[in-house]
């Protein structure tokens, strides 16, 4: 499941993943939210949280993630992953340099620091 977060600073879009994320989560929740946030010529700042209850992606969701990234390749100014899941933290740290925007990884205990960094 993907939940769009509210009460974030202006210009920051946020999502929290829990359980197993499916293609339907991408198609009905995340893709519309990202598309709205990146309308026009503005760049989005994206907060993604994988908490303890996050279990992973279905195969179809992984494909939608790749499509979303390709379609919005240069639409993100900053991306912050907040998670204690070592595999996902490692993947983002290892491949984040490929993104045109700045990418940082934060532990769950630093959620406020991640939000502050995105807002700056």
What is the structure's pLDDT at 69? 59
* Contact (Cβ atoms closer than 8 angstroms) between residue 115 and residue 47: yes
How far apart are the C-alpha atoms of 30 and 27, rounded to whole Å?
7
Residue-by-residue pLDDT tens, the chain, 120 positions:
999 999 999 889 999 999 999 988 888 998 888 888 888 776 889 999 999 999 988 878 766 566 665 555 567 899 999 999 999 899 888 887 777 789 999 999 999 999 999 999
What span, in angstroms and rounded, lies between the C-alpha atoms of 9 and 27?
25
Q: Supply 17's token pair.
A: 């993943």
**Paired tokens of 57:** 């992606």
- pLDDT value at position 72? 55
Q: What pLDDT does residue 104 have?
A: 96
Q: Under a CB-based contact definition with an 8 Å cutoff, are residues 46 and 13 in contact?
A: yes
């Amino acid at each position: 499941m993907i939940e769009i977060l509210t009460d974030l600073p202006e210009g920051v879009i946020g999502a929290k993943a829990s359980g197993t994320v499916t293609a339907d989560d991408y198609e009905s929740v995340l893709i519309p939210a990202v598309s709205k946030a990146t309308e026009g010529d503005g760049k989005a700042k994206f907060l993604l949280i994988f908490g303890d209850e996050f279990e992973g992606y279905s195969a179809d969701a992984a494909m939608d993630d790749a499509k979303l990234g390709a379609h919005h390749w240069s639409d993100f100014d900053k991306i912050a992953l907040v998670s204690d899941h070592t595999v996902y933290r490692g993947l983002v740290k290892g491949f984040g340099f490929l993104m045109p925007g700045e990418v940082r990884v934060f532990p769950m205990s630093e959620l406020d620091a991640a939000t502050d960094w995105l807002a700056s």
